[in-house]
């Protein structure tokens, strides 16, 4: 198993973590947000935590969970290489960026850049488009699928902010499985797949998604539209209750197991000591 840990970069750093929270800097702003993995002690003084520009306090009742003491002119911007993302304080503690995913962006970008042709990449559960923009910057054409219209709108705003309007991106608002089934009927194929399914969720129509039930079904359907010799396939998951080996074995149902690696994505605290585990992944190359 591999462990890759993101170190501080210009517009992001994990300042501290512990006691169920993480203290992060996104650009000019510092945020305090819950993180269930951070069960150790905080290192920085309490005053440092209290000086954060915004705090998200999680209540036992989800309806009572909200941002407090907001000093942020939301939205604001995050920059990484050729990508600019608009960040916001969402009602569910998120900002529109999962920083640890930069490590996946770098991995597949290197593969795309080495491809002798422009690969067709399918990005399922594409959220606000960070992975999509990284892929087109590297030289791919991307079909970006998400069931959330607000997420697609946000992703298209990020495309414009990044100056990538002319890049070949197809934006699709749809259920992932329904879209893949239609692509299979149409006979369309893809050279590579990126997917970041939720552990549990509901689409705008109320359809429930459960990782353990729906991901194996989705993968078996994806096999129908995946090139017989694919460039790469990436599954990322925030279902941290599963070992990375579980994700690897699921992907091994449709691709040679010996060419699949798996592991965890972490973020290293600014002090360079501890790292915070964020997600698990499996990669086929």
Number of residues that make up the chain = 285
Q: Report pLDDT for 68.
A: 87
CATH 3.40.50.300 fits 2-87, yes or no: no
pLDDT, tens digit (0-9, with 9 covering 90-100), for 128-166: 999 999 999 999 999 999 999 999 999 999 999 999 999
pLDDT, tens digit (0-9, with 9 covering 90-100), for 158-216: 999 999 999 999 999 999 999 999 999 999 999 999 999 887 666 656 677 778 888 99
The domain limits of the chain are 2-87, 99-284
Report the DSSP beta bridge partners of residue 260: 284
Instruction: Please name the residues in contact with 84: beta carbons below 8 A apart, sequence gap of 6 or more.
Output: 77, 78, 158, 161, 162, 163
Q: Report pLDDT for 113.
A: 98
Name the superfamily (CATH) of residues 99-284.
Vaccinia Virus protein VP39 (3.40.50.150)
For residue 60, what pLDDT band results from cuts at 50, 70 and 90?
low
| Stated pTM of the model | 0.94
Q: Where is average pLDDT lowest: 24-33, 190-199, 226-235?
A: 190-199
């Amino acid at each position: 198993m591999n462990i890759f840990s993101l170190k501080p970069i210009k517009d992001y750093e994990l300042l501290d973590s512990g006691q169920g929270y993480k203290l992060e800097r996104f650009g000019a702003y510092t945020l305090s947000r819950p993180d269930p993995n951070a069960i150790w002690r905080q290192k920085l003084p309490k005053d440092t935590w209290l000086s954060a520009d915004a705090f998200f306090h999680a209540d036992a009742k989800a309806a009572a969970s909200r941002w407090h003491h907001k000093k942020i002119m939301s939205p604001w911007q995050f920059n990484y290489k050729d990508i600019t993302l608009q960040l916001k304080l969402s009602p569910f503690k998120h900002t529109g960026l999962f920083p640890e995913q930069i490590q996946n962006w770098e991995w597949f970008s290197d593969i795309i850049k080495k491809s002798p042709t422009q690969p067709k990449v399918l990005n399922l559960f594409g959220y606000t488009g960070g992975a999509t923009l990284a892929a087109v910057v590297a030289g791919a054409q991307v079909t970006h699928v998400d069931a959330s219209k607000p997420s697609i709108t946000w992703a298209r705003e990020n495309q414009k902010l990044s100056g990538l309007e002319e890049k070949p991106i197809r934006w699709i608002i749809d259920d992932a499985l329904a879209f893949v089934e239609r692509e299979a009927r149409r006979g369309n194929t893809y050279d590579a797949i990126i997917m970041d399914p939720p552990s549990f969720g509901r689409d705008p129509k109320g359809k429930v998604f459960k990782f353990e039930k729906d991901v194996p079904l989705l993968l078996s359907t994806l096999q129908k539209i995946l090139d017989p010799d694919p460039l790469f396939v990436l599954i990322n998951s925030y279902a941290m209750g599963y070992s990375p080996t579980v994700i690897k074995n699921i992907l091994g149902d449709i691709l040679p197991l010996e060419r699949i690696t798996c592991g965890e994505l972490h973020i290293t605290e600014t002090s360079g000591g501890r790292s915070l585990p964020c997600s698990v992944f499996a990669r086929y190359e």
